[in-house]
């Protein structure tokens, strides 16, 4: 087997390793009554090392490993796919403990209600066979673990995710700055680099690219060096290669400088407004690394579980949510605000609606509920709305007024703290992700310390060597 280095996915490796350990060494688990995990699904954007990780596990697990790919089944005649699955599961059972790996499971495991491809029957039979076999293994406690990988866990049939099937999910994210550095190291390990080449600088601006893009980058840089008849790869070769690679980047998530700056200010806006609210949760993390459906994240961590919220806390939450949009408006002007805030705007709208129609928190509308906790949809479904035209108008006006008041307070707060907002956006563009230490320094007007994770040297996880 070839050496496989999977870098920057430590968390996923740890999660998967635990499951593999179960196979090797089931006694301590079963002694405590723990069941053998049945199915583990690796999910994440394309090119982030899911297949690579599964292969590395195959080399490392020390148990037989069977691999099938969902895309193989798509072309098959009805019944063939199901027979393949049955066959694979039977073989795996014979030599158990063992692992079955189903790559690109979305090709077969697509939700049955969605889409009507040509091979629907085929897909459905294959899917049913997988489910039946997994249930059977569960009942008999057969030590076979089914590992699967997908780029699209959002379209998978709910039946797959049910308890006793793929009930463990391991997320693989796009690599952060440090992860990107590790991955490019892996892919340049056997290439002659000019002495003193700083790989961290090479990947610094490449927020949003995948591991596959980085492998590609290393290769392109080598080709460019050959073309100019160099004997080592130099920084400029990487620069030229970057343009080529990012233009063809499959992830589609590669962010342009402009978008990145906008996102940095957007997230800084949330963080600063949240930070400055009294009795608000601690801001623990801000990042401009794209996640599923989000351009960045700002994370607040409550000290304890909340059972209810005060009116002041709700308004603080709304302002925090407006912080992103307000920051965008401050730096780019009202014409350049973006749809990046659409989730925020939706959350704010639903909170304001609840304040007025459900929680009795509006002074002018009063302590009355005009909608159930299911929102006003319920009201629309009955013949007559449970309030008069006049009340409806009053509620609309109150919603407008509150929203405008809270938004302008948010904007003022950011304008008053403009230098902190600039400092935080700058830190985000430099490090991509910042945590409590940096956030507090910025808010106290100090120079933010370099993040610890950024300084500490970390070696790639080498799962297998030839």
Would you list the DSSP string of 306-364?
-S---HHHHHHHHHHHHHHHHHHHHHH-GGG--GGGHHHHHHHHHHHHHHHHTS---TT
Q: Which does 217 bind (CB under 5 to 8 A by kind): Mg ion, ligand ADP, Zn ion, none?
A: none
Nearer to Mg ion among residue 50 and residue 165 (C-beta): 50
263 binds Mg ion (CB under 5 A): no
- From the number of C-beta atoms within 10 Å of its C-beta (0-12, 13-18, 19+), residue 139 rates as exposed
- Which DSSP category does 259 fall into? H
Site for Mg ion in 36-75 (CB under 5 A): 50-51
Cβ atoms of residues 124 and 112 within 8 Å: yes
- What sign does the dihedral 422-425-431-435 (CA atoms) show? positive
d(C-alpha 228, C-alpha 216), whole Å: 19
Smallest distance, Å, CB 72 to Mg ion?
13
Smallest distance, Å, CB 139 to Mg ion?
31
Cβ atoms of residues 6 and 55 within 8 Å: no
Smallest distance, Å, CB 54 to Mg ion?
8
Smallest distance, Å, CB 250 to ligand ADP?
9
Helices (H), 160-210: 177-188, 199-204
The residue written with tokens 């591991």 in the block is 211
Give the per-residue contact string, 73-92, with Mg ion (x = CB under 5 A; - = no).
--------------------
Kindly list the residues in this chain that would bind ligand ADP in the complex (CB under 6 A): 5-9, 46-52, 149, 183, 186, 211-212, 215
Nearer to Mg ion among residue 149 and residue 272 (C-beta): 149
Q: Which does 237 bind (CB under 5 to 8 A by kind): Mg ion, ligand ADP, Zn ion, none?
A: none
Nearer to Mg ion among residue 50 and residue 319 (C-beta): 50
Q: Residue number with the shortest CB distance to Mg ion?
A: 51
Q: Encoding tokens for residue 304?
A: 């304890």
Say which of 122, 129, 267, 329 is annotated catalytic.
Answer: 267
The residue written with tokens 């040509």 in the block is 118
210 binds Mg ion (CB under 5 A): no
> Phi and psi at residue 346, in whole multiples of 5°?
-65, -45
Does the annotation mark 267 as catalytic? yes
Nearer to Mg ion among residue 50 and residue 133 (C-beta): 50
Kindly list the residues in this chain that would bind Zn ion in the complex (CB under 5 A): 324, 344
What is the contact surface with Mg ion in residues (CB under 5 A)? 50-51
Catalytic residues, by residue number, are 267
């Amino acid at each position: 087997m070839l050496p496989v280095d999977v870098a920057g996915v430590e968390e996923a490796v740890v999660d998967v390793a635990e499951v593999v350990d179960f196979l090797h060494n089931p006694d301590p688990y079963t002694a405590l009554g723990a069941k053998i995990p049945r199915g583990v699904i690796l999910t994440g954007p394309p090119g982030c090392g899911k297949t690579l990780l599964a292969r590395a596990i195959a080399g490392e697990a020390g148990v037989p490993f069977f691999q099938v790919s969902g895309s193989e089944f798509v072309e098959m005649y009805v019944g063939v796919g199901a027979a393949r699955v049955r066959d694979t599961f039977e073989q795996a059972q014979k030599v158990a403990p063992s692992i079955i790996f189903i790559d690109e499971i979305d090709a077969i495991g697509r939700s049955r209600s969605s889409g009507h491809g040509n091979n629907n029957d085929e897909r459905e039979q294959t899917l049913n066979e997988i489910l039946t076999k997994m249930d059977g293994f569960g009942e008999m406690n057969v030590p076979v673990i089914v590992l699967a990988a997908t780029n699209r866990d959002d379209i998978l049939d709910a039946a797959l995710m049910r308890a006793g099937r793929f009930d463990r999910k391991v997320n693989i994210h796009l690599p952060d700055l440090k992860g990107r550095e590790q991955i490019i190291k892996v892919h340049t390990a056997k290439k002659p680099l000019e002495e003193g080449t700083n790989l961290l600088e090479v990947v610094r601006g490449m927020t949003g690219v995948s591991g596959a893009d980085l492998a590609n980058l290393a290769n392109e840089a080598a080709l460019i060096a050959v073309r100019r008849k160099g004997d080592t790869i130099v920084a400029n070769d990487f620069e030229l290669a970057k343009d080529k690679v990012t233009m063809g980047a499959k992830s589609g998530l590669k962010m342009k400088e402009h978008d990145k700056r906008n996102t940095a200010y957007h997230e800084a806006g949330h963080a600063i407004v949240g930070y400055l609210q009294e009795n608000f949760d601690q801001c623990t993390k801000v990042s401009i690394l794209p996640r599923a459906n989000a351009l960045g994240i700002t994370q607040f961590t409550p000290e304890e579980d909340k059972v209810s919220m005060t009116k002041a806390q709700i308004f603080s939450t709304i302002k925090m949510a407006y912080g992103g949009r307000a920051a965008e408006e401050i730096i780019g002007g009202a014409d350049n605000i973006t749809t990046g805030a659409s989730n925020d705007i939706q959350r704010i709208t639903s909170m304001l609606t609840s304040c007025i129609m459900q929680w009795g928190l509006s002074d002018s509308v009063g302590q009355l509920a005009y909608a159930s906790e299911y929102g006003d949809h319920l009201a629309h479904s009955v013949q007559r709305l449970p309030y008069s035209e006049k009340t409806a108008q009053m509620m609309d006006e109150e919603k407008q007024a509150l929203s405008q008041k809270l938004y302008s307070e948010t904007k003022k707060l950011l304008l008053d703290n403009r230098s902190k907002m600039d400092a935080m956006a700058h830190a985000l563009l430099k490090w991509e992700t910042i945590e409590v230490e940096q956030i507090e320094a910025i808010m106290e007007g100090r120079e933010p310390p370099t993040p610890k994770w950024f300084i500490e040297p970390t070696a790639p996880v080498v799962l297998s060597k030839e």
